[in-house]
């Protein structure tokens, strides 16, 4: 007796009818992908395991990926990871969490990671990295590699001691020792700011530096000194931790000097420091930019929240993260990617203007 299904028992399609890939309603397998793409299962494994470069033609790889998408194929990640010896998890180590810049770095890294079946875990490295517990003691087996952003030398050393492939972002290339490196051209950024201020007639500049032991801030200080080496500009420097209140306190004395003695522009190592300078200027009755020009660094959301809006340097944070993840993938494939240096861009807004005439000066 036949039921409505078309064959005894009514289970499945009638004899001779086409079955879904994988047979009997199961999900499609790598064999089904291979058959649809016209390639071997080995080729499918190489492509979907992201190990195809140099072994499978790019057009073939695209065909395999298209077949997998069309069939709705989903690999058994646990089995594949065991076979490849990978967890497909990267750790992004950052000095702070509450930063637009590092949020952008994470977004860029996560976007590239997702395309390759990886996840990205965010880890804030303690300030006192030397006495901090080793983050890899229990997590080493759960990670494929580390991307370290703006780390102090001792923190980088601690991360390298974890024994995992390492990508350094915005960090000292001299400390790479086999790590991949992705940096911002912060020295050129400082030179862009100096050119901008000189064009506006400023010849007395205060540098408000970040009191942070980091390669990127040392490069900024060095680039500023080099840019002003001809002696035609008075160059002073004070430092402060990366906090608004610290910046306010650091510049209060010098901005309180008589007009003929105080700087006409303050070049800050971050937008946060610049916000503190703007607050101090307001408390002292100084107009920005008529009496004092102020520049930042980073182009955080804060830069357009203050008044006047801040002239600053825009850093391509998401590109930094994306290049970092690409570098880690290359290391995992046994390649050594070349160092990458990304450009930064000056964004001119209302906080900078022509240098004021020196009241009281001869």
Phi, psi angle pair for 176, to nearest 5°:
-65, -55
- Do residues 194 and 352 make contact, with C-beta atoms less than 8 angstroms apart? no
| Residue 263 and residue 215 share a domain | yes
**Among 80, 89, 106, which residue's Cα sits nearest to residue 143?**
89
What is the value of pTM for the model shown?
0.73
Percent of the chain scoring above 70 in pLDDT: 81
Distance, in Å, from the CA atom of 39 to the CA atom of 267, rounded to the nearest integer, reads 60
Give the model confidence (pLDDT) of 158-192 as tens digits: 666 667 899 999 988 888 888 999 999 999 999 99
Find the mean pLDDT for residues 196-218. 95
**Among 310, 306, 313, 315, which residue's Cα sits nearest to residue 293?**
310
Domain boundary among 41, 66, 82: 82
| Residue 311 and residue 269 share a domain | yes
Q: How many helices (H) and strands (E) does the chain have?
A: 12, 12
Distance, in Å, from the CA atom of 235 to the CA atom of 194, rounded to the nearest integer, reads 11
Which residues does 222 contact at the CB level (< 8 Å), separation at least 6?
187
Boundaries of domain holding 74: 17-82
Give the model confidence (pLDDT) of 105-125 as tens digits: 999 999 999 998 899 998 887
Q: Of all helices (H) and strands (E), which one includes residue 266?
A: strand 265-268
| Residue 52 and residue 42 share a domain | yes
Distance, in Å, from the CA atom of 252 to the CA atom of 240, rounded to the nearest integer, reads 12
- Do residues 235 and 225 make contact, with C-beta atoms less than 8 angstroms apart? yes
Q: In the numeric block, which tokens belong to residue 163? A: 């024994």
| Residue 136 and residue 204 share a domain | no
Residue 7 lies in a domain: no
- Do residues 190 and 295 make contact, with C-beta atoms less than 8 angstroms apart? no
Distance, in Å, from the CA atom of 242 to the CA atom of 77, rounded to the nearest integer, reads 42
Give the dihedral sign, CA 321/325/326/328.
positive
- Do residues 293 and 282 make contact, with C-beta atoms less than 8 angstroms apart? no
| Residue 233 and residue 310 share a domain | yes
- The CATH number linked to 36 is 1.10.260.40
Residue 229 lies in a domain: yes
What domain count does the chain have? 3
- The CATH number linked to 223 is 3.40.50.2300
Q: Which of 14-28, 295-309, 345-359 has the lowest mean pLDDT?
A: 14-28
Residue 174 lies in a domain: yes
């Amino acid at each position: 007796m036949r039921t409505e299904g078309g064959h005894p028992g009514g289970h499945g399609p009638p004899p001779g009818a086409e079955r879904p890939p994988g047979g009997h309603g199961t999900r499609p397998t790598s064999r089904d992908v291979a058959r649809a793409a016209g390639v071997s299962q080995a080729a499918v494994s190489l492509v979907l395991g992201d190990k195809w470069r140099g072994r499978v033609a790019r057009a073939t790889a695209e065909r395999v990926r298209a077949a997998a998408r069309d069939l709705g194929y989903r690999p058994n990640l646990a089995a594949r990871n065991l076979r490849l010896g990978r967890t497909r998890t990267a750790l992004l180590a950052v000095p702070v969490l509450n930063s637009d810049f590092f949020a952008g770095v994470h977004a860029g890294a996560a976007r590239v990671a997702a395309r390759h079946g990886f996840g990205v875990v965010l880890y804030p490295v303690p300030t006192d990295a030397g006495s901090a517990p080793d983050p890899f003691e229990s997590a080493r087996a759960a990670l494929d590699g580390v991307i370290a952003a703006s780390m102090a030398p001792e923190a980088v050393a601690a991360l390298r001691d974890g024994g995992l492939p390492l990508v350094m972002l915005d960090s000292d290339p001299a400390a790479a020792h086999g790590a991949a490196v992705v940096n911002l051209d912060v020295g050129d950024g400082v030179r862009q700011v100096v050119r901008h201020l000189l064009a506006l007639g400023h010849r007395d500049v205060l540098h408000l530096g970040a009191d942070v032991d980091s390669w990127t801030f040392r490069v900024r200080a060095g680039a500023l000194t080099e840019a002003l080496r001809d002696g035609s500009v008075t160059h002073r420097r004070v430092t402060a931790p990366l906090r608004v209140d610290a910046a306010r306190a650091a510049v209060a004395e010098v901005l309180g000097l008589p007009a003929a003695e105080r700087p006409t522009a303050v070049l800050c190592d971050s937008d946060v420091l610049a916000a503190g300078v703007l607050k101090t200027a307001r408390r002292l009755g100084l107009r920005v930019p008529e009496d004092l020009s102020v520049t930042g660094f980073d182009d955080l959301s804060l830069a357009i929240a203050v008044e006047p809006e801040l002239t600053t340097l825009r850093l391509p944070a998401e590109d930094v993260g994306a290049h970092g993840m690409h570098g880690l993938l290359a290391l995992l494939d046994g390649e050594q990617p070349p160092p990458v240096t990304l450009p930064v861009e000056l964004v001119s807004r209302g906080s900078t203007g022509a240098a004021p005439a020196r009241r009281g000066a001869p």
